Structure 1
Amino acid sequence: MTSADLPPASVRPEEEVVELCRDLIRIDTSNYGDGSGPGEREAAEYVMARLTEVGWEPELLETEPRRANVVLRIPGTDPSRPALVLHGHTDVVPAAADDWSVDPFAAEVRDGLVWGRGAVDMKDMDAMILAVVRDMGRTGWRPPRDLIVALFADEENGGRHGAQRLVRDRPDLFEGASEAISEVGGFSVQIDGRRAYLLQTAEKGLAWLRLVADGTAGHGSQVNTDNAVTALAGAVHRIGEHAWPLHLTKTVTQLLDGVAELTGTSYDPDDLASIEPLVDALGPAKKFVGATLRTGANPTQLEAGYKANVIPGQAVGALDVRPIPGDEPQVMETIARLAGPDVRVEDIHRDTGLEVPFSGDLVDAMVGAIDAEDPGSVVLPYMLSGGTDNKSLSRLGIAGYGFAPLRLPPELDFAGMFHGVDERVPVDALRFGTRVLERLLRTC
């Protein structure tokens, strides 16, 4: 692209964010978790091109073939302040095209929405980041503090080739950073007729576990009191049916307090029945919030045997366990007890839970940016039931927030879009989020 092809300096970031988002969606970066996908290299090269054409000099870091990350450090006007990390990920979960009503990688604009895999997780935020950072390059404005822009690979598989790897091998990239902003926060819900934005200040822990039962192989017609399938089935049943205790963290309590105030109701923190109406008041977001009231453990995979009349010598299962932050040791003890003495519990992947304050200058700036674009709305903290690359950055002492601001129609099932079919994001929400993000980066 020549200088004549560049957008003029008068082009506002929100005017190009939709096309940036569509371009990113069209690049298939499906992450199958086994190394068989296309990788993020093409998307990283696209990001590199969009940044270099406005004068930036980002760094491309390929941790494995085609597993590529992009990092750019932008000096702020006050070098004495700690840096801010603004990050996204370019990989997406796979999409089965036959299940969709549109081509998941065509990035169609239909009914005022951009459709496609990654539209909300998280190429929408990637595009907002690119749009605002490109505007900095074109017009010359700078944020108050150093800004470290990172577009990571492999978030959908725990960040082994992305944030986790760079934090381990290249911590210098994040030197001096104290806080970070990324996905799954800042989106709106309607509560009793009032628009509220949920700012993510916590996320549950993560433990993908393997259950292994060893037994005695033999003929299916014989008596076998050492059957691996029986042992595994019992463990899976006990874990899947276990009633985990209610545990409201500070973040969840602050959210429920805010919803109670907006709805003019009250609740008992020890009584689930009084809490459930407040969760229901969050509309589609209740899918996220409802899972943060307690630890969750879901059996997800089973594998054993190769023939109906052969008792296998081993049976294997998998669990997706999401502990409440701080409860990880007790949760693992409970899982081991429920699995029983005949079933081993092995790690597939584990990561920490997070909880950071809903206070401070950065939070004030995020709240202020929302208020400037949507006066009269409120901002409440919440805990994400899933996880983000903020887990990896936390190992460097960086406090991570989820803030990908979107003003959404109340009927849109936003939570259901994550890893779901017919993923889509409103065009107006993309433009709104870009304006909010620009305000934030000019003031934080």
Structure 2
Amino acid sequence: MSDTLRPEDEVVRICQELIRIDTSNYGDGSGPGEAAAAEYVVAQLREVGLEPQTYEAEPGRVTVAVRIPGADRDRGALCVHGHLDVVPANAADWSVDPFGGVERDGCVWGRGAVDMKDMDAMMLACVRDIGRRGIVPPRDLVVVFFADEEAGGVQGSHFMVDNHPEVFEGVTEAISEVGGYSVTVTDRHGDEKRTYLLQTAEKGIAWLRLTANGRAGHGSVPNDENAIVRLAEAISRIAEHKWPREYIPSVRTLLDGLSELTGTGWSDEDLEELLQHLGGAQGFVRGTLQDTSNVTMLDGGYKHNVIPQQASANVDCRFLPGHEEDLIATIRELAGEHVEVSVLHRDIALSAPFEGALVDRMVEALRTEDPDAEVLPYCLSGGTDNKALSLLGITGYGFAPLRLPADLDFAPMFHGIDERVPTDSLRFGARVLGRLLETC
């Protein structure tokens, strides 16, 4: 194997091959699982002399991990992690086969191209380069490809933290998805400026189920205890509730930095003009201005002429740090006396400092490839496997570096249709990530 091969030379191929392995996670235990993708990752690592380990939470739910010893074994190790599963895709909605991994119009298309087989490919390409060239990083690297992130990590990161914490022995910091990508903003001088969003915080998760109880009966008979009506009223109250805004440090720093860059002022009451500078990424930022609650699933009734005695809905709630108990209490109050609220899954909110040696190295790695880049922190409205790692005292960041074209509406493609990532962005990310791993 040529020792001149570099991460950017094979990252596109790896991304395509990973996308072609269907790892759809339906959240109910069905689906193909991650075993085939894990087998692929293991083969790629072994080809360059590394010896990864696999961990199977349940049949087919496989996580892969490998530790690369660093020069200073006394320093805290860095965990670089991704997840192998993806959300499902309805092929009829796509203009390409979502699991074809096709290259078209300068992009790799397919489910996972954005979330997050692009970063998985960067990780694999960089770690293969380390193995191939015999590089000794400054500190230990623990590289992990998790199962089950798209269903809360129960069979992936949480399984590993609960059952195999030894994998993360000595790890103090971690990097993963949904950060490090660029948005192009117009600065105060009218010039376009690439600004990279480094994820330093993420909201907590509360997946709730509303269950309304009532009196069953014939569809032709008036019924003032209709479970579906009670559920609908509860949903309406939740949907109409205005969650109060709160600007946590990462959000305020982002808004202040964006204001300084663009010359656009903002206030607690009005930041619409400022957010417009973020393009499609503004959705993620809007989701971090307050707690949120979105109804995502409904289940009620079983025949047209039968009033059921029970109906249910699932609500996806995301809360800012310190808001968990208040959010759940508010949902219970809004649901009302005839609707029970149960917690299906909950996970913590995170916040990390936008400073320190690792942040400095991430910024330097970006600016080496893009010298005029601005870098600002932001809070993710969703969640990552960094939540599970935080239970071991590991500080996590989102850093999947991508230099993106100004006209690509990237952020809405997370879990979206026709998901795709530019090939040039993949190569850029491989160079940046490789530099970080050699200097961290």
**TM-score when normalising by structure 1:** 0.97
Alpha-carbon separation, structure 1, partners of 2:326 and 2:361: 37
Alpha-carbon separation, structure 1, partners of 2:73 and 2:144: 19
Q: Name the residue aligned to 1:320.
A: 316
Alpha-carbon separation, structure 2, partners of 1:142 and 1:437: 15
Q: Which of 328, 331, 338 is the matching residue for 1:335?
A: 331
Q: Name the residue aligned to 1:199.
A: 198
1:225 Cα deviation from its structure 2 partner: 2.6
Please give the residue correspondences for 1:96-245 in structure 2 after superposition, counting only pairs within 5 Å.
96-192=90-186, 193-245=192-244
Alpha-carbon separation, structure 2, partners of 1:37 and 1:308: 31
1:402 Cα deviation from its structure 2 partner: 0.3
Q: Which of 89, 105, 113 is the matching residue for 1:95?
A: 89
Alpha-carbon separation, structure 2, partners of 1:11 and 1:302: 51
Please give the residue correspondences for 1:278-317 in structure 2 after superposition, counting only pairs within 5 Å.
278-317=274-313
**TM-score when normalising by structure 2:** 0.97
Q: Which of 2, 11, 14 is the matching residue for 1:8?
A: 2
Report the 3-state secondary structure (helix = DSSP H, G, I; strand = E; otherwise coil) of the residue aligned with 1:68: strand
Alpha-carbon separation, structure 2, partners of 1:223 and 1:108: 56
Q: Which moved more, 1:220-229 or 1:86-95?
A: 220-229
Report the 3-state secondary structure (helix = DSSP H, G, I; strand = E; otherwise coil) of the residue aligned with 2:346: strand
Alpha-carbon separation, structure 1, partners of 2:331 and 2:169: 38
1:85 equivalenced with 2:84 (yes/no): no
Alpha-carbon separation, structure 2, partners of 1:349 and 1:27: 28
Instruction: Judge conservation of contact 2:182–2:402 (CA < 8 Å) in 1.
Output: yes
Alpha-carbon separation, structure 2, partners of 1:414 and 1:279: 16
Q: Name the residue aligned to 1:360.
A: 356
1:365 Cα deviation from its structure 2 partner: 0.5
1:220 Cα deviation from its structure 2 partner: 2.3
Could you list the per-position Cα deviations for residues 29-75 of structure 1 after superposition, in whole angstroms to 9, with x for gaps in the alignment?
11111122111000000000000111111001111111111000111
Q: Note the residue ranges of structure 2 that are not aligned, 5 or more in a row.
A: 187-191
Could you list the per-position Cα deviations for residues 177-198 of structure 1 after superposition, in whole angstroms to 9, with x for gaps in the alignment?
1110000100000111111000
Identity of aligned residues (%): 61
What is the identity, as a one-letter code, of the residue corresponding to 2:132? R
Q: Figure out how many residues of one structure are paired with residues of the other and give that number.
A: 435
Alpha-carbon separation, structure 2, partners of 1:265 and 1:215: 53
What is the identity, as a one-letter code, of the residue corresponding to 2:118? D
Q: Which moved more, 1:323-332 or 1:51-60?
A: 323-332
What is the identity, as a one-letter code, of the residue corresponding to 1:321? C
Q: Name the residue aligned to 1:381.
A: 377
What is the identity, as a one-letter code, of the residue corresponding to 1:409? P
Report the 3-state secondary structure (helix = DSSP H, G, I; strand = E; otherwise coil) of the residue aligned with 1:181: strand
Alpha-carbon separation, structure 2, partners of 1:151 and 1:119: 16
What is the identity, as a one-letter code, of the residue corresponding to 1:54? V
Alpha-carbon separation, structure 1, partners of 2:225 and 2:64: 52
What is the identity, as a one-letter code, of the residue corresponding to 1:327? H
Could you list the per-position Cα deviations for residues 316-356 of structure 1 after superposition, in whole angstroms to 9, with x for gaps in the alignment?
11101111122111111111110111111001111111111
Alpha-carbon separation, structure 2, partners of 1:300 and 1:125: 28
Instruction: Judge conservation of contact 2:264–2:273 (CA < 8 Å) in 1.
Output: no
Q: Which of 2, 22, 25 is the matching residue for 1:31?
A: 25
Report the 3-state secondary structure (helix = DSSP H, G, I; strand = E; otherwise coil) of the residue aligned with 1:282: helix
Alpha-carbon separation, structure 2, partners of 1:225 and 1:352: 39
Q: Name the residue aligned to 1:251.
A: 250
1:266 Cα deviation from its structure 2 partner: 2.0
1:308 Cα deviation from its structure 2 partner: 2.3
1:344 equivalenced with 2:340 (yes/no): yes
Report the 3-state secondary structure (helix = DSSP H, G, I; strand = E; otherwise coil) of the residue aligned with 2:378: strand
Alpha-carbon separation, structure 2, partners of 1:308 and 1:20: 51
Q: Which of 410, 415, 418 is the matching residue for 1:414?
A: 410
Q: Which of 258, 271, 277 is the matching residue for 2:273?
A: 277
Instruction: Judge conservation of contact 2:182–2:403 (CA < 8 Å) in 1.
Output: yes
1:309 Cα deviation from its structure 2 partner: 2.1
1:9 Cα deviation from its structure 2 partner: 1.1
What is the identity, as a one-letter code, of the residue corresponding to 1:168? D
Q: Name the residue aligned to 2:260.
A: 261
Alpha-carbon separation, structure 1, partners of 2:44 and 2:264: 49
What is the identity, as a one-letter code, of the residue corresponding to 2:320? I
Structure 1 runs (4+) deviating above 4 angstroms are none
What is the identity, as a one-letter code, of the residue corresponding to 1:256? L
Alpha-carbon separation, structure 2, partners of 1:428 and 1:51: 24
1:224 Cα deviation from its structure 2 partner: 2.4
Alpha-carbon separation, structure 2, partners of 1:284 and 1:301: 25
Q: Note the residue ranges of structure 1 that are not aligned, 5 or more in a row.
A: 1-6
Report the 3-state secondary structure (helix = DSSP H, G, I; strand = E; otherwise coil) of the residue aligned with 1:137: helix
- Computed over aligned residues only, the root mean square deviation of the Cα atoms, in angstroms, reads 0.9
Alpha-carbon separation, structure 2, partners of 1:427 and 1:74: 28
Q: Which moved more, 1:418-427 or 1:299-308?
A: 299-308
Report the 3-state secondary structure (helix = DSSP H, G, I; strand = E; otherwise coil) of the residue aligned with 1:130: helix
Alpha-carbon separation, structure 2, partners of 1:302 and 1:33: 16
Report the 3-state secondary structure (helix = DSSP H, G, I; strand = E; otherwise coil) of the residue aligned with 1:404: coil
Q: Name the residue aligned to 1:4.
A: none
Q: Name the residue aligned to 2:189.
A: none
